Amino acid sequence: MDKEFGGYFTSLDRDGSVYDYTKYMWMQWRIVYMFSELHLSEYSRPGWLDIAERGFDFLYKHGRDETGHYYFALNRKGEPSIAAYNIFSDCFAAMGSAALYKATGTDRYRRAAEDAMNGYLARIDNPKAQWEKSLAGRQRFLSLGHYMMLANLGVIMDECLDADRYRSDLDSAISIVLDRFWNPELGLMFENVLPNGGFDLESCEGRMLNPGHVLEAMWFILNYFDRNGGDPHNLIKVAKIIKAALKTGWDTEHGGLFYFMDAQNKPHLELQWDMKLWWPQCEALIACLYAFKMTGDREFYDWFVKFNEWTWNHFRDPEFGEWYGYLNRQGAPTHSLKGGKWKTFFHLPRCLLMSVRLMQDIKNALTTTEFGEI
């Protein structure tokens, strides 16, 4: 926590020392969300709710532009440093505020959550608005990330605000993810699809695969099915997509999940395509456990064991704690940082909390004999 100006330090080196004071909005709101969730959990500790509320105060006061959208970054004092060009700043503001409302019942947190959620919905068809750099000659795509996060947001709004006003948006997002981004002929879920639902196999952007996003999207949908029920055919489809993403994304030579891939194994423009990042592995762990819980298919448990062993053997820092964020293809750390512009106290603690709960659910559902086998 920045006890002088408010908010949090997220650019942390291996030993936890601060190496940059920029306050990136995604990271800040994710911390609000995580400490609110942990306060509500069976692991709650004194002071965790205060951490979330102090972060909210700083971000709500300094974080919005004149239209109500959240900036991408502030400087240490809270002055805007990067414009509100990114729709996910609103997304994580909605998540953090909603979880804080659930933890406290304070109405201003509810209003903040609804305002940010409405801002996200208003921008989803034109995410970058006036900050869009592309011109008319560039092919337009729909992004999996925008719709998978809407599916997650819908569940969070429903759960935390006790309101189903976003149910139609949630149902629409799930339908779009399952029906428009999945290519059954190729057995792949694409990161970008054409606005009409078609697939562009003539460009790097169109052929792009992001296995971590696919697995994250699928466990978001399983979470919804777990809470609200769903079409059994869709459950079968989700299980099929998870298996495809695991099989396609796993590096059979060195282990771990690739960051980006090309649907036709052509060169990828992203130079870090073959790196192993912390967050895709976290999403794989949750997806495997959730799919095992929902289907009982032993293959998902076996995948979980494989990812569990690989991640703890490669990402964990035994000297200073926490996980490294970035490994090369062989599994060696490429950066010493534990937090930065994209990594903060979010994916890993969410993975640990979700995994423990899912394992408990699985244990409770199995007979003693069955549990003994796993």
- Per the domain annotation, does 282 fall within a domain? yes
User: Both 170 and 306 in a single domain?
Assistant: yes
DSSP element (H, E) containing 50: helix 48-62
User: Both 301 and 155 in a single domain?
Assistant: yes
User: Both 108 and 212 in a single domain?
Assistant: no
| Alpha helices (H) in 77-141, listed in sequence order | 88-104, 107-123
- Per the domain annotation, does 222 fall within a domain? yes
User: Both 51 and 89 in a single domain?
Assistant: yes
Domain of 296 in residue numbering reads as 142-310
Taking the C-alpha atoms of residue 345 and residue 66, their distance in angstroms, rounded to an integer, is 29
- Per the domain annotation, does 59 fall within a domain? yes
Averages of pLDDT over each 10 residues, the chain, 374 residues: 97 97 98 98 97 98 96 98 97 98 98 97 92 92 96 95 89 96 98 94 97 98 93 95 98 98 96 97 98 96 98 97 98 97 98 97 77 57
What the block records as the tokens of 85 is 């060009």
User: Both 116 and 149 in a single domain?
Assistant: no
Whole-angstrom CA distances from 272 to 248, 263, 316 are: 17, 16, 21
* Short-list 118, 62, 110, CA closest to 90: 118
User: Both 85 and 157 in a single domain?
Assistant: no
Annotate 182-231 with DSSP letters as a single string.
Answer: EETTTTEE-SEE-TTS----SSHHHHEE-HHHHHHHHHHHHHHHHHH---
- Per the domain annotation, does 135 fall within a domain? no
User: Both 204 and 73 in a single domain?
Assistant: no
- Per the domain annotation, does 28 fall within a domain? yes
| Residue-level pLDDT at 230 | 82
Annotate 228-294 with DSSP letters as a single string.
Answer: H---HHHHHHHHHHHHHHHHHHB-TTT-SB-S-EETTSPPPS-TTTT-EEHHHHHHHHHHHHHHHHH
Helical packing angle, 211-228 and 278-295, nearest 10°:
40
- Per the domain annotation, does 4 fall within a domain? no
Domain count across the chain: 2
* Final residue before a domain boundary, out of 293, 310, 327: 310
pTM listed for this prediction: 0.96
User: Both 116 and 244 in a single domain?
Assistant: no
User: Both 95 and 207 in a single domain?
Assistant: no
- Per the domain annotation, does 199 fall within a domain? yes
User: Both 163 and 272 in a single domain?
Assistant: yes
| Residue-level pLDDT at 300 | 98
User: Both 75 and 152 in a single domain?
Assistant: no
User: Both 165 and 226 in a single domain?
Assistant: yes
* Final residue before a domain boundary, out of 283, 310, 337: 310
